[in-house]
Amino acid sequence: MALVSNPQPTKSARAAAASAAVRKAILAPAATSSQRSSARRSSPHIPSTCSGCGEALSGVDPEPHRHQVIDIPRIEPFVIEHQLHRLICTHCHATTRAVLPAGVEGGGFGPQLSALVGLWGGVYHLSHRKVQSLLDQLLGIQLTTGAIPAIRCRLSESLASLVEEAKEAIRKEPVAHMDETGGPIGNADGNNPERKRGWLWVLVTPALAVFHLALSRSADVAREVLGEAFEGIVVTDRYSAYSWLPLHRRQICWAHIKRDFTAIAERAGVNKEMGRRLLALEKQMFEQWHRWREGQISRQ
């Protein structure tokens, strides 16, 4: 990734910002105008006697003070039962059973439930057991832990074409960033019975990010993810899996380069001075780059 050096806020500045955020939250109105207009039910409360002298009161306030309580209704799942009748032919005695209509999920889980399982696992990174627990506690739906990865696998299959479209879009961009990281991935889809260490590859542009899970960190996977048709510049670290890229199409990540310059500057003797000069050049280069990005200078 390209390195952008921004000054870090001081501890006192961070504390002041946090305090301001708390005050803003406390003093914020209980409901916005849009929430007020969407109130499903209103309960008018009219005082019957004066709080000052005790005399009886009458009439209504044309602009009463509004206090709204926001809540969510009880969420209850609904089950649609498809009854597939089986009939015997009076002519040949063959048995025929009806089939599910087009669009009905054969696995037994509807699109909304499947989307929720995918959201909790893919976006909020909850484990299978946590998703199972949430479904039970919030919705009263009891699923086995094996059903969770089955739903996720079906979601992955249904999104495969969209992922390919995203890959093709990235491969047309002039610059893309690429990286990989390892970790245990289990065997939810049945393709990793030996439970080998997995690698999560990512291909990123300012508009899109595509993730690819593999059991290898090799150059072959890098080629597969990037695609042979990509002709732009790839920003990577120094890992050898990217060495097949021509030098004019590969940019080493400046965050890594700056760390190397810093390490050189922390040594003794001539290395220290060399590291400081390299850091100064890096700073000067990015100052000019920011000026170019803001339109203050041109490439000429």
Task: Say yes or no: 240 and 260 in one domain.
Answer: no
The residue with greater pLDDT, 116 or 192, is: 116
Whether the pLDDT of residue 2 is over 50: the answer is no
| Segment 104-121 mean pLDDT | 89
- Domain boundary (158, 190, 225) is at 158
Whether the pLDDT of residue 53 is over 80: the answer is yes
Domain span holding position 117: 110-158
| Segment 20-36 mean pLDDT | 47
Task: Say yes or no: 204 and 153 in one domain.
Answer: no
What pLDDT, on a 0 to 100 scale, did the predictor assign at position 193? 83
Amino acid at 153: C
Q: How far apart are the first and last CA of the chain?
A: 25
260 pLDDT tier (thresholds 50, 70, 90): very high
Task: Say yes or no: 119 and 186 in one domain.
Answer: no
What pLDDT, on a 0 to 100 scale, did the predictor assign at position 58? 92
Cα distance between residue 300 and residue 286, in whole Å = 17
Q: Who contacts 130 (Cβ-Cβ below 8 Å, separation ≥6)? A: 120
| Segment 62-90 mean pLDDT | 90
What pLDDT, on a 0 to 100 scale, did the predictor assign at position 210? 92
Average pLDDT, the chain: 85
| Segment 239-256 mean pLDDT | 93
| Residue 198 in domain | yes
Please provide residue 181's backbone torsions phi and psi, each rounded to the nearest 5 degrees.
-145, 145
Cα distance between residue 203 and residue 179, in whole Å = 7
Question: What tokens appear for 203 in the block?
Answer: 């291909």
Task: Say yes or no: 233 and 191 in one domain.
Answer: yes
| Residue 54 in domain | no
Task: Say yes or no: 179 and 244 in one domain.
Answer: yes
Beta-sheet strands, E only, within the chain: 86-88, 95-97, 175-184, 197-204, 209-214, 233-236, 250-252
Any alpha helices (H) in 159-236, and if so which ranges? 160-170, 219-226
Cβ pair 249, 233 in contact under 8 A:
yes
| Residue 200 in domain | yes
Task: Say yes or no: 280 and 242 in one domain.
Answer: no
135 pLDDT tier (thresholds 50, 70, 90): very high
Q: How many domains is the chain built from?
A: 3
The residue with greater pLDDT, 165 or 30, is: 165
Residue 243 sits at the vertex; the CA angle it makes with 240 and 249, to the nearest 5 degrees, is 140
What pLDDT, on a 0 to 100 scale, did the predictor assign at position 94? 94
| Residue 131 in domain | yes
Task: Say yes or no: 191 and 241 in one domain.
Answer: yes
For the segment 64-74, what is each residue's pLDDT rounded down to a tens digit? Answer: 999 988 888 88
| Residue 187 in domain | yes
Task: Say yes or no: 185 and 154 in one domain.
Answer: no
| Residue 263 in domain | yes
Share of the chain above pLDDT 90, in %: 59
| Residue 121 in domain | yes
What pLDDT, on a 0 to 100 scale, did the predictor assign at position 97? 95
Task: Say yes or no: 125 and 182 in one domain.
Answer: no
Q: How far apart, in Å, are the Cα atoms of 149 and each of 130, 153, 174, 259?
A: 12, 6, 36, 40
| Residue 154 in domain | yes
- Angle in degrees, 0-180, between the axes of helices 254-265 and 270-293, rounded to the nearest 10: 150
CATH number reported for the structural domain that contains residue 216 in this entry: 3.30.420.10
